[in-house]
Chains A and B, each alone.
Chain A
């Protein structure tokens, strides 16, 4: 396959289970069973070069676990992660991984916790350069960090300061500069603006878009904020209880949500345009992922659920009525059987 048309990331059948059992002694003495939390339970998607792929969902749906699996902070229980055609699980040693690692970097949610408070900003940013031995000589490294600081909208003089001297937004800029230091192609951003105020969030989102254009970056963007996701993404996957409920191009997902859970999520977006639209908050909460419902995970909260939904787990299938090539994938029996009413929402382009 040609280099350019091959997706940068391909994930297939990705699973990650966590053992959350009580300690061995308690299990033996009190007869407690082993407990498994299926944080990610069979997820497939591909991310094309230069696009932003977002995963949305509520706490505990497994979106951050997917991010950590892809970047290699967790090992998958099952499934394949391919980066630029290379199977990530095929590598056995850090040394073999290093060239691929350099090409992907992560930005975390909390800019207070993700920067070492005892290091100067310049050293924080230079760490990937030193770790991957990308540039030799201190003067050259300083020149490169100056360039990186400017690129994210800070001044070279800021390199001599410590993280506590910066505000949350500036710290997130430092995180981005550090991520860019190894000249990656792929950035995994786990709720990068959730801890920031809206005006600062706008600065960071604008910066991320500018950098994407300049450096031809590919983003995996994890967020619970649908408006942010709408603004930044090309494709969106909606996760619920470790599975993808719906995956579609952004405009398709937001203008014609198929899965009842997606519809519910869209209903929760506050109506800032003050159109007087009535919201119906759906009752119920996300079930405990240690003991998820049988069949479709959403059936206890779903207004359209029937017997089949309680027994048989739906697989993501292409939805009818979309343009070929940009069809939504929906894991819902109701959609497959065509018994859900259509839900078309106009997007007012501004």
Chain B
């Protein structure tokens, strides 16, 4: 359905499928997910290792490692399709319209070039600027991300920076060309807690100032709670639940989200035991039929074992769980004996 441009989401992902062909058959790492990110919005993507959150990010910016490939679905940026662009065109989109921040700041920076050169290169690639202008802008960017004495630091090499400072440089690099969207994959995971708080505050401020939307991929629910507007919870290559962050954290609908929230220890909560989801996420080659969470789900019933739930609207949240199926809710309301 075509929408008027004013309400058009910045990023629209429709039925995305990512597959890895292997000798023992094709593995579906991401299985038919759809979501959108609005202009200037921070969407958190949370899930455990192997849930497919990083792959979703990589698929959107066209950085899937072969043999991984997009096997279905479409990705729109600002209404234009980007998942089928040729590599050369995709390179222009990356950096100019979508910036990326990865977990390990040391591997995202080239150790052989000064950070000034790396920043200037990115700036001149995407913006019509001379070398001198690019250098000036690079110094401004470094100042903006909170690097002291940017006019001196610009000629330093990555190894001369601490971990937190390097991540600031990477953020500056992602912001170079004023992108509309930043994909931040575990941007604070490798950092100490006090530095993590600094980087989160920085990311929040910059995105507000520049109106940049962020897809924030992390396993840390705390980071999401602090930063995101909405959150998508992923499990075994699917979105289990997506909705406003307050809603999802305080009133989780999906049993997996509920279990996940209960398993996080928090200061001030005196519990003898943490809520425990027994078992582990299934491997890609052994995803159960029906809902992928059904073998671990405390509220499982027959339908879950047979039929796979899609996202269903439930107030402001969407949840992929048969507990919240409209017909079930109707049956409940009518006092019928379906569930």
Which of B192, B267, B271, B275 has a CB less than 8 Å from the CB of A226? B267
Q: Is the CB of A198 within 8 A of B197?
A: no
In the complex, residue of chain B having the shortest beta-carbon distance to the beta carbon of A281: B197
Q: Is the CB of A281 within 8 A of B201?
A: yes
Kindly identify, within residues 198 to 243 of chain A, every residue whose CB is under 8 Å from any CB belonging to chain B: 198-203, 205-206, 209, 224-228, 230-232
In the complex, residue of chain A having the shortest beta-carbon distance to the beta carbon of B273: A206
CB distance from B231 to the nearest CB of A (A): 12
Chain B residues, Cβ within 8 Å of A209? 272-273
- Contacts between chains A and B (CB distance < 8 A), count: 132
Q: Does B269 lie at the interface of the complex (its beta carbon under 8 Å from any beta carbon of A)?
A: yes
Which of B201, B221, B263 has a CB less than 8 Å from the CB of A279? B201
- Determine the distance from Cα of A58 to Cα of B198 in the docked complex, in whole angstroms: 14
Q: Is the CB of B225 within 8 A of A272?
A: yes
Q: Which of A71-79, A121-129, A178-186, A260-268 contacts B (4 or more CB under 8 A)?
A: A260-268
Q: Is the CB of A202 within 8 A of B274?
A: yes
Which of B226, B246, B260 has a CB less than 8 Å from the CB of A198? B260
Q: Is the CB of B48 within 8 A of A270?
A: no
Q: Does B265 lie at the interface of the complex (its beta carbon under 8 Å from any beta carbon of A)?
A: yes
- Determine the distance from Cα of A267 to Cα of B259 in the docked complex, in whole angstroms: 26
Q: Is the CB of A227 within 8 A of B219?
A: no
Which of A59, A197, A227, A230 has a CB less than 8 Å from the CB of B49? A197
Q: Does A254 lie at the interface of the complex (its beta carbon under 8 Å from any beta carbon of B)?
A: yes
> Provided the pairs A199-B260, A348-B268, A350-B270 are in contact, do residues A268 and B277 lie with their beta carbons within 8 angstroms?
no
CB distance from A223 to the nearest CB of B (A): 11
Which of B165, B192, B225, B249 has a CB less than 8 Å from the CB of A224? B192
> Provided the pairs A199-B260, A206-B274, A279-B201 are in contact, do residues A231 and B226 lie with their beta carbons within 8 angstroms?
no
> Provided the pairs A279-B201, A347-B268 are in contact, do residues A272 and B192 lie with their beta carbons within 8 angstroms?
no
Q: Is the CB of A59 within 8 A of B48?
A: no
CB distance from B263 to the nearest CB of A (A): 3
Chain B residues, Cβ within 8 Å of A28? none
In the complex, residue of chain B having the shortest beta-carbon distance to the beta carbon of A301: B194
Q: Is the CB of A282 within 8 A of B194?
A: yes
Q: Does B32 lie at the interface of the complex (its beta carbon under 8 Å from any beta carbon of A)?
A: no
Kindly identify, within residues 85 to 109 of chain A, every residue whose CB is under 8 Å from any CB belonging to chain B: none
Q: Interface readout for B175-201 with A: 1 if CB under 8 Å, 0 if not?
A: 000000000000000001111111011
Kindly identify, within residues 299 to 350 of chain A, every residue whose CB is under 8 Å from any CB belonging to chain B: 345-350
Kindly identify, within residues 254 to 307 of chain B, every residue whose CB is under 8 Å from any CB belonging to chain A: 259-260, 262-278, 280
Chain B residues, Cβ within 8 Å of A264? 194
Chain B residues, Cβ within 8 Å of A200? 48, 280
Q: Does A20 lie at the interface of the complex (its beta carbon under 8 Å from any beta carbon of B)?
A: no
Q: Is the CB of B263 within 8 A of A202?
A: yes
Kindly identify, within residues 198 to 223 of chain B, every residue whose CB is under 8 Å from any CB belonging to chain A: 198, 200-201, 219-223
Chain B residues, Cβ within 8 Å of A198? 48, 219, 221, 260, 263-264
> Provided the pairs A197-B49, A270-B220 are in contact, do residues A59 and B192 lie with their beta carbons within 8 angstroms?
yes
Q: Is the CB of A285 within 8 A of B195?
A: yes
In the complex, residue of chain A having the shortest beta-carbon distance to the beta carbon of B261: A272
The list of the 5 closest CB pairs from A to B, nearest first, reads: A270-B222, A202-B263, A231-B265, A281-B197, A197-B48
Task: Beyond A198-B48, A231-B265, A279-B201, list 6 extra A-B contacts (CB 8 Å).
Answer: A200-B48, A271-B222, A272-B222, A282-B194, A347-B268, A349-B270
Q: List 9 A-B contacts (CB under 8 A).
A: A169-B280, A200-B280, A202-B265, A227-B265, A231-B269, A254-B268, A272-B225, A279-B201, A347-B270
